[in-house]
Structure 1
Amino acid sequence: MDPTIDRVQKGRAIAGTVASFLLIWTYGIDGGWSGVFKDGVSKLFLAPLILILVGPLVIVGFIRYAPAEHRPLLRSRLRHPLKAVCWYMGAVAASVACLCTVSQSGRYMAMLGGTAGMLGAAVVPLVLLPVLLWMAAFLFFSSGAAARYAFNTADVHAALPAVLTVVLVWVLNLVSLGDGLPNGPLLVKIAAFLGGPLSVTAVSCWELHHLRTRYGVRVRG
């Protein structure tokens, strides 16, 4: 943890939020502010899934790029990110299971009939709904943490989260292209589309430089 890196990352995030707000305020957005909220929530949950899908390719390339004598050590440290991924995917699976059970419990209990069916139809949602709400809250907060810390991949190598962040932001940007470019003149659309990932890439490159010059952190050497 480096306070300088943390301040720069927060500053970029604040600047990006302000720029997005001014863009929407000036040129509007399809779907209004509710569309902004839905887009933010969808990206919050989409980011960890992209990391899970694309991250292994980046990590494999990162370890292959490292000197041969360092690769066994880097591979041995993968258990920490894998543990975080398993916890996250377990929470997703548990949430889906609870949701399916709650939605289908009435039909299944109706097949039992009688007092047992009526009691089961009332008890099952009461038992599972609090679990489902807890899982939803856990996924909401852990999704943001997973995206920021890239599933604890700093335990593998201090430079790995910065590399993963660059890949993540560009993939997210390409995925969001399916919704179309923002409103406004052409130059504003291009700037809005490229501004986010370019600024994140610049901060990540600076972070790698800062780690190398201040702490001697290198991928090779």
Structure 2
Amino acid sequence: MQLARTILGLAAAVWLVASYPLSGGGQKFILGKLLELAFSCGILAVGSVVGIAAFLIASTPARRRDFAGRLRRPVSAALLLAAGPLCIWVSVETLKGNLISDQELKDFFFGLGLPEFICFVLSFFALAIGWLAAVAVLLGSSVYTLLATYLCVFTCFMAKDVHQLLPALISPLLVWSLFAFQLFNGPDVAAPPEVLYTFMLGGPLSVTALSVWEVRRLRAHHAITLRRALGH
């Protein structure tokens, strides 16, 4: 059901963009979507930390130790996501020459006692190889960061590994925060208000409904409730 909702949401977004003109240019639209993805990731990161911390604090000591033992994958997901922007920053700083400069390379080779011509040649090749490597890392880490961000948002930072209830409790926080962000940021397309707000409300309402349904199914079919999850 969650996958079907996602596919329908993407289809609705494509139809909306294809049917109505963009409020700004295409570049502004793409940058806006990237900003929304980053905002989603930030909201989910905060929500996951708060949700997991609340579970740990409110649970019994035995359950607390159990939950703490399940934090490996959520923490790993956060660290893997942070690796992408870190690689982007290192690549950009390398391309700008802030990490190491031509003169520093020359001084390094001069310090080895090599002839001046050899030092110039080696520093040139080192800079060229470093520049090409930085470009490759920048492109690869940009794609990696986008994919990792999407997966972290889609899986709620692996919060289900701590407990099955957490994704259903955290997801509504994300979608309603995004709804507020879109209201503040303005519409992406010049659509009539009834179409625009139906589309904007469709995501939060459908995700909230699915979360409620998920919580009810966990209780009805697996006897999983918040009280039992906390060990009370």
> Which interval holds the TM-score relative to the shorter structure?
0.7 to 0.9
- Match of 2:73? 80
Is 1:199 the counterpart of 2:211 in the alignment?
no
CA distance in 1, matches of 2:19, 2:125: 56
State the aligned residue count: 214
Report deviation, 1:69. Answer: 5.0
- Which of 139, 148, 151 is matched with 2:145 structurally? 139
SS of the residue aligned with 1:125? helix
What TM-score comes out, normalization by structure 1 length? 0.81
Report deviation, 1:180. Answer: 0.8
- Which of 204, 210, 216 is matched with 2:217 structurally? 210
Matches within 5 A, 1:174-189: 174-181=180-187, 182-189=189-196
CA distance in 2, matches of 1:60, 1:189: 37
- Match of 1:220? 227
The root-mean-square deviation of aligned C-alpha atoms, in Å, is 2.7
- Which of 85, 91, 103 is matched with 2:96 structurally? 103
Higher helix content, 1 or 2: 1
Any stretches of 5+ residues in structure 1 without a counterpart? 1-7
Q: Which has the higher contact order (CA 8 A, sep 6+)?
A: 2
Report deviation, 1:71. Answer: 2.9
The answer to whether the 8 A contact 1:45-1:140 is kept is no
- Match of 1:24? 17
Identity between Structure 1 and Structure 2 (%)? 27
What TM-score comes out, normalization by structure 2 length? 0.78
Report deviation, 1:147. Answer: 0.8
The answer to whether the 8 A contact 2:88-2:142 is kept is yes
- Which of 3, 9, 17 is matched with 1:10 structurally? 3
The letter of the residue matching 2:213 is W
> Which one is further off, 51-60 or 23-32?
23-32
> Which one is further off, 198-207 or 184-193?
184-193
